[in-house]
Structure 1
């Protein structure tokens, strides 16, 4: 990836971190393209699931003021950027991970607060907010 492309990718990822209510980092090693497509559908309309480069995403997260995720950027990483109700997307991730053990929830951030993988699973157990 050329340097201008990297700068553009970092800027786009930083914008996604800033505009999201929550972001969940996962490891997707061993999942097929068809499984990733199913996962994207299960997250709902208010979430975007993107396979990312660790180094660029770490820089983007730091630019967005999120430095608590640094330890999670190892291995193949994908991020679910959630702009709507985080409970709906957390349920989608949890349920997909039950059926597909290759998807590993690493952790994430909700409204600027770091969440462990267990906290994300607890979030999935909550009732979603009615709007």
Structure 2
């Protein structure tokens, strides 16, 4: 890799570290190409990115970002999973680690907050932004549907009273 390419990679990683909500660092030694392709596909589907970079370049890219505290995680063959959604990268990494024992989560970062392995797993258990948005929409829609049923209830009750009265008169 030439110097210009290295500078470009460091600049790209630096922007990625600044813009993304969460970053997960993991060891990937021993994974097959098919496994890495599957991981990349899952992360991309969740709205994130996967990067494999030399540790020295990744540490340089961390300088000046809120994630600078993660520099100690870059030892050996590491892969960087990142996403704008604070939960997506953690969810994909945790799920992938369950099925691939050679994929080992080292830690990560959520803004200025450093995450160890347990922190990444705890973050993965939280609902994603889309799930939270769906819950909020459901909560907002719930009063409207209850209001509609309350408004319709007196009409229905009146209809049942009239029908009961008619049935009573027919029986008599």
TM-score, normalisation: structure 2: 0.71
Partners of 1:63 and 1:88 lie apart in 2 by 24
> Comparing both structures, which one devotes a greater share of its residues to helix?
2
Partners of 1:112 and 1:26 lie apart in 2 by 19
The answer as to 2:61 corresponding to 1:60 is yes
Partners of 1:2 and 1:91 lie apart in 2 by 35
**CA positional deviation for 1:56:** 0.3
Higher relative contact order (CA 8 A, sep 6+): 1
**CA positional deviation for 1:82:** 0.8
**CA positional deviation for 1:46:** 1.4
**CA positional deviation for 1:9:** 1.1
Aligned length: 130
**CA positional deviation for 1:87:** 2.1
- Deviation readout 1:61-112 (Å, 9 max, x if unpaired): 113243211211101011011112x323322211110110100111111022
Partners of 1:94 and 1:81 lie apart in 2 by 13
Report the aligned-residue RMSD: 1.4
TM-score, normalisation: structure 1: 0.91
Say whether the 8 Å CA contact 1:24–1:81 is kept in structure 2. yes
